[in-house]
Copies of this chain bind each other. A is one copy, B any other.
Amino acid sequence: MSKHEKIGPEVESSLINADAQVESFRQTRNNRRTELVEDYVELIADLIEDGGEARQVDIAQRLGVAQPTVAKMLKRLISEGYIQQRRYRGIFLTEAGQKLAELCRERHHIVESFLCSIGVSPETARIDAEGMEHHASAETLEAFKAFLARATPPRRVAGQA
């Protein structure tokens, strides 16, 4: 605390441990630095799978941003090794890019399905998942998956034990 230290009887505080809190904020800031990259790579993978190629105009249209914004971001993706680009040609995912895309798609799907499974409407789940996915740790994803497995029990053939 600052110079003006507070002492006195230990009362129930709305403040949690400072080191724990700073860790949360740091982790969250960290996630924020990668969420755009993740969304781009995931979207590029989808576009390629769907149409055989990913073009800047399509990416821009899907994201709702201007084309030069995409062009700039693609340079970041190149410098980070996720895509390759041939001038005036399309975008291709590197090995690392494909791996990241796969992770993101899976994670995105888990989060969105989970939201639906607890009663959130598909439209809202779609929107919320787009933001929440980037802050779901491996442990939380496991919990989501476990819940989904419980909520959607594996169907048995008629006449189960």
- Residues of A whose CB lies within 8 Å of any CB of B are 1-2, 4, 6, 13-16, 18, 20-29, 31-32, 39, 45-47, 49-53, 55, 57-58, 61-64, 105, 115, 118-121, 123-132, 134-137, 139-140, 143-144, 146-147
The quantity of this chain's copies bound in the complex is: 2
Per CB-CB distance, the 4 closest pairs between chain A and chain B, nearest first, are A131-B135, A22-B64, A28-B131, A24-B130
Find chain B residues with CB under 8 A from A63 CB.
22, 25
Q: Please tell me if the beta carbons of A135 and B132 are within 8 angstroms of each other in the complex.
A: yes
Q: Please tell me if the beta carbons of A24 and B137 are within 8 angstroms of each other in the complex.
A: no
Find chain B residues with CB under 8 A from A51 CB.
1, 4, 6
Contact of A137 among B14, B15, B118, B128 (CB under 8 A): B128
Q: Which residue of B lies closest to A51 (CB)?
A: B6
Q: How far is the CB of A136 from chain B (nearest CB, A)?
A: 6
